[in-house]
Structure 1
Amino acid sequence: MPLLVMKFGGTSVANIDRIRRAAKRVGVEVAKGYDVIVIVSAMAGRTNELVGWVDEISPLYDAREYDAVVSSGEVVTAGLMALTLQEMDIPARSWQGWQVPLKTNSSHSAARIEEIPTDNINAKFGEGMQVAVVAGFQGISPEGRITTLGRGGSDTTAVAFAAAFGAERCDIYTDVDGVYTTDPRITDKARKLDRIAFEEMLELASLGAKVLQTRSVELAMRYNVRLRVLSSFEEQSDDAGTLVCAEEEIMESNVVNGIAYSRDEAKMTLISVADRPGIAAAIFGPLSDAGVNVDMIIQNISEEGRTDMTFSCPTNQVARAEKALQGAKDRGEINFHDLVADTNVAKISAVGIGMRSQSGVAAKMFQTLRDEGINIKVISTSEIKISVLIDRKYMELAVQSLHDAFELDKTA
């Protein structure tokens, strides 16, 4: 039988009525002749509740017990979904991560998937089971302990199962009906994309778009798993949602396909650093060791052997960055006059595979921001992306004006 993976996020299984609605969607695919692996998240809000309980009991918790607690939300949903399908006369069974088994490393609360053997589930399909309902977000370590994959890990679970089982497609059901050219809450001109390339989706996910978890898109691109993003709350057609696929499957694309933003950015500047070989390694090594996610980096022109070094990072990592750099200074590894953090910035990015073959994107982006009186603080580019840091108060204006400038409300 052809195989389909269907993943339902927390809002899609938030209560019994929504679980029943999701089960009906599964039933439609079963009626088409598919064997189905359903990956479920915990009910909306449940994981936050469980995390809160852990924090209340033990702020310095044992990560192994943390995983045991927070993984329980998906277990409940999986059981309820299997029962609902059984009531619909669809042969279904729930599976916890350890029963599959989804094998991970030992990094509790941030585990990486190492292997998904297919024998157990395929054997049950051979015995007449039509739907395997798998608790997302969880696996088992080499030591036999429950592990979790980090927040949003059910997306990664779904893609990993699609890759392991050679699924025809992986459908991600969420509270939006697809991937848009930008956030519809910022501009009503935002347009739903019928298709988007893996690379574009990866950039958008990493730059602030919340539709898909970044790790899941990386995995899909590596194993060429076709993803479809759909709404759980709207009637579906065969071409509903947005298909995330290889670039070769897209006939024609806009030069820019999306405008992403991240409001939780900070710009940090080391003032008057010694300009010598190895200074970058001396700065960014401690930041890496401290788990600071550095994005944009600028080094100013050196004067009299001193220079300024600017980088961006998430606002919630500023204190960690300051501690790491002060520690490096105290150890004599680096020397700087001052460290200045600006937490009132936002990152705006234009993304599109068409940039590879079209020039002028940067010029248009910078001119558009200039015309709106928006000053650019930092610039970063890649083959299919241009990102800038600006004052946060101009974030929505920048998104709207760039969306208009690149005419993203129009199809290619």
Structure 2
Amino acid sequence: MMGITGTSANVVVQKYGGSSVADAAGIRRAAQRVADTQAAGFQVVAVVSAMGDTTDELLELASSVSSRPHARELDSLLTTGELVSAALLAIALADLGTDAHTFTGGEAGLITDERHGQACITDVDPHHIRSCLNRGQVPVVAGFQGRSRQANRVTTLGRGGSDLTAVALAAALGSVCEIYTDVDGVYTADPRVVPKARKIDVLASEQMLELAASGAKVLHLRCIEYARRFGVPIHVRSSFRSKPGTMILPSFDQAHAEAGAGEQTLVSEVASANSAAQVTVAGIPDCSRTTARLLQDLAASGLNVDMIAQNPRDAGAESADITFTLPATELPRAIAALDAAQSRLGFESMHHRDEMGRVSLTGLGMRSSPAAFYTFFKALTDAGISPEMISMSGLSIVAVTRANQLADAVRALEMAFDLTPPEQDAAPEPNAGDNPAARVQVVASTAFS
């Protein structure tokens, strides 16, 4: 199989998630895969998450000690989970005769800003990692963490931080990044909701960004953004089986060329998220100017506002209602921010609905395919689902509906776009799962003329 253009063919960064190193058996399995990859002639950097639910347990422990734990000290506590995983993996590798060396995120060269709990990577200096590789060792890096440049304090990268660690190191080393998890790859829908959902072989990073924003939980948004910015190919694979997973390529051109679909619309996946809330702010005076100030207040509160619709009350009227969606977990902060701003902005009232969700259809060429939009809307209507809001981009169509209708919506769209697998999937190419830089040749998606 051919390697990915522009990457080092001899270096691979392998990241093992919490479910992959949840117990001793998982750690031994990860160590064996690392050792086998090195024996095949590759230089391997291993990045690990904390074991299983360790991070949640540490957060719960901190909450039992203090109702408002200090962010800096909380970071110091949370990073211990990944340190445990790294040390155990190095011990398991030693038993296999593989020389390994453990690194904290800071020692691995990840430099961040000062924001504890949600730090951003500002620089990566992998010279210690390169030296380790040149000595024939396997660097085992604790994910989820870095070190601030000015204060020289440990920081954490927030949700999905270990994925981000792996992608950042792969970018600095010019290598492919393999993400090992408890699923075989990215699927056309959540297999727990749609049992016949099938695995997608190739995606563009732009498509994966849409999927992550729409509720797909295989990779976190920041990890994909970083990979796209620095041209890092990501291979999402199962840590339990040696099969090819889903290759996420940095550009449309690469992914579309792999699919070989010309100008056809490629429908790749249906994703859903049932944690959305919908907020309506009614009677906004001087609507355009006031809406801008309202959104500025929400942004200052760190709120992630999503879809927005503005509805003038009457023709020529200067007041309007706006409706927007945001993650349900952010609803209390949104209500507090709007309550504080009501007298200053002068809107009449506000009401909200939780237990809402989003269902999205993602693929290439959505905006240029009227058939895709028609089929999307008709599938939902035939299933008795009336979308509250709909948005469309060149990559996706997204509808907001009630959370209790999401499963039906996903099934309806899967059937309408024929995203269930054939009776017998083609056998994988021999040894395709053994090459870290392998390119999967066929994309499992529906072409729409």
Provide the TM-score with structure 1 as the length reference: 0.95
Shift in Å at residue 344 of structure 1?
2.6
SS at match of 2:259: coil
SS at match of 2:410: helix
Find the aligned partners of 2:168 and 2:380 in 1 and give their Cα distance: 40
Mapping for residues 182-197 of structure 1, pairs under 5 Å? 182-197=189-204
Find the aligned partners of 2:101 and 2:122 in 1 and give their Cα distance: 24
AA at the equivalent of 1:221: R
1:56 pairs with 2:64: yes
Find the aligned partners of 1:166 and 1:174 in 2 and give their Cα distance: 22
Find the aligned partners of 1:150 and 1:175 in 2 and give their Cα distance: 21
Q: 1:198 aligns with which of 196, 205, 209?
A: 205
The runs of at least 4 consecutive aligned structure 1 residues that moved more than 6 Å come to: none
Shift in Å at residue 409 of structure 1?
2.1
* Partner deviation per Cα, 1:325-357 (whole Å, 9 max, x = no partner): 111113x2x122211101132111111013254
Contact 2:312–2:318 (CA under 8 A) maintained in structure 1: no
Contact 1:268–1:310 (CA under 8 A) maintained in structure 2: yes
SS at match of 1:291: coil
Contact 2:118–2:157 (CA under 8 A) maintained in structure 1: yes
Find the aligned partners of 2:221 and 2:333 in 1 and give their Cα distance: 23
Contact 2:90–2:101 (CA under 8 A) maintained in structure 1: yes
Number of the residue aligned with 1:111:
119
Number of the residue aligned with 1:207:
214
Find the aligned partners of 1:380 and 1:280 in 2 and give their Cα distance: 19
Q: 2:252 aligns with which of 222, 247, 253?
A: 247
Contact 1:355–1:383 (CA under 8 A) maintained in structure 2: yes
Q: 1:273 aligns with which of 266, 284, 287?
A: 284
AA at the equivalent of 2:79: S
Number of the residue aligned with 2:96:
88
Find the aligned partners of 1:357 and 1:177 in 2 and give their Cα distance: 31
AA at the equivalent of 1:64: R
* Partner deviation per Cα, 1:14-41 (whole Å, 9 max, x = no partner): 1111100011111111011111100000
Mapping for residues 137-286 of structure 1, pairs under 5 Å? 137-142=144-149, 143-167=151-175, 169-234=176-241, 236-237=242-243, 240-245=244-249, 246-249=251-254, 250-252=258-260, 255-286=266-297
Contact 2:54–2:81 (CA under 8 A) maintained in structure 1: yes
Shift in Å at residue 400 of structure 1?
0.3
AA at the equivalent of 2:387: I
SS at match of 2:321: strand
AA at the equivalent of 2:229: R
SS at match of 2:83: helix
SS at match of 1:399: helix
Query: Which deviates more from structure 2 when the two are superposed, residues 367-376 or residues 41-50?
Result: 367-376
Find the aligned partners of 1:201 and 1:393 in 2 and give their Cα distance: 25
SS at match of 1:300: strand
Number of the residue aligned with 1:43:
51
Relative contact order (alpha carbons < 8 A, sep ≥ 6): 1 or 2 greater? Answer: 2
Q: How many residues align?
A: 405
Find the aligned partners of 1:380 and 1:347 in 2 and give their Cα distance: 11
Find the aligned partners of 2:152 and 2:205 in 1 and give their Cα distance: 34
Matched-pair identity in % = 40
Find the aligned partners of 2:287 and 2:195 in 1 and give their Cα distance: 50
Find the aligned partners of 1:344 and 1:44 in 2 and give their Cα distance: 28
Unaligned runs of 5+ in 2: 1-8, 422-443
Number of the residue aligned with 1:326:
339
Provide the TM-score with structure 2 as the length reference: 0.88
Shift in Å at residue 255 of structure 1?
2.6
SS at match of 1:48: helix
1:347 pairs with 2:358: yes
Shift in Å at residue 155 of structure 1?
0.3
Shift in Å at residue 221 of structure 1?
1.0
Contact 1:118–1:165 (CA under 8 A) maintained in structure 2: yes
Find the aligned partners of 1:127 and 1:394 in 2 and give their Cα distance: 56
1:132 pairs with 2:139: yes
Mapping for residues 385-396 of structure 1, pairs under 5 Å? 385-396=396-407
Number of the residue aligned with 1:294:
305
Query: Which deviates more from structure 2 when the two are superposed, residues 246-255 or residues 100-109?
Result: 246-255
Number of the residue aligned with 1:309:
322
Shift in Å at residue 159 of structure 1?
0.4
